[in-house]
Chain A
Amino acid sequence: SQQGEEDPQALSIQEGENATMNCSYKTSINNLQWYRQNSGRGLVHLILIRSNEREKHSGRLRVTLDTSKKSSSLLITASRAADTASYFCATDSGSARQLTFGSGTQLTVLP
């Protein structure tokens, strides 16, 4: 079963614009992680935010977490064509010792 649901399912923007993807989940978490997947490749970890954190930055990435709403958002600023990929949120509930992934957002950045 999939814990997270990403929104939107697909997003197409112009290079230079910002891209925002949202993730909602159902159970309490220890942390939430975002991963990126290029077509036909494995997943690559982008950023992790702990349940006691509200916002985190890494380069052009900004992640927010609202545990009261059980939601997170990933913002990619100044997008590039190379950012074209699928983005997945994944929740770590701690006790399960596994990550539960959402269904992903397919981001297309047009040059």
Chain B
Amino acid sequence: GAGVSQTPSNKVTEKGKYVELRCDPISGHTALYWYRQSLGQGPEFLIYFQGTGAADDSGLPNDRFFAVRPEGSVSTLKIQRTERGDSAVYLCASRAAAANTGELFFGEGSRLTVL
């Protein structure tokens, strides 16, 4: 597609539920990143993929968070047993290759609210 697409744009869920957030990167971009942004803060790195593999998942806060990118394109961020502290905007970004130290292209984000 023309840009990075994220769905849903908004998700409201109850504490303890399971959530999936989807990211469709720019076509041909091999590097895909997930960030989390709390209100009034900058984006915090969660995980990045080079192709199908998670090259760096050091930013995932705990084992309730998991992400996949099975075919090297679309990625899904999965959050189990959601907690109120998980409420944030989850941003996805892509770039041509991780070795290309150029700009990231961001999606509009998925706003998650855990009640």
Contacts and interface: CB of A to CB of B under 8 A. Distances in A.
Given A42-B91, A42-B108, A101 B44 contact: yes
Interface in A13-44: 30-31, 33, 35, 41-44
Contacts of A44: 106
A98 interface: yes
B102 A48 contact: yes
B38 to A, nearest CB: 10
Given A45-B103, A97-B98, A103 B41 contact: yes
B104 A45 contact: yes
Contact of A48 (B93, B103, B109): B103
A61 B86 CA distance: 35
B42 A103 contact: yes
Interface in B84-102: 91, 93, 98-99, 101-102
A31 B45 CA distance: 17
Contacts of B105: 45
B67 to A, nearest CB: 14
B36 to A, nearest CB: 11
Contacts of B25: none
Given A44-B106, A97-B48, A98-B59, 18 more contacts: A2-B41, A2-B42, A31-B101, A33-B103, A43-B93, A45-B104, A88-B42, A96-B56, A97-B31, A97-B55, A98-B33, A99-B45, A99-B104, A100-B45, A101-B42, A101-B43, A101-B44, A103-B40
Interface of A: 1-2, 4, 30-31, 33, 35, 41-45, 48, 88, 90, 92, 94, 96-104
Closest 10 pairs (CB-CB, A-B): A101-B42, A45-B103, A42-B106, A97-B98, A43-B106, A42-B108, A101-B43, A103-B42, A98-B45, A104-B42
15 contacts: A42-B106, A43-B43, A43-B91, A43-B93, A88-B42, A90-B104, A96-B56, A97-B48, A97-B50, A97-B98, A99-B104, A102-B42, A103-B42, A104-B40, A104-B42
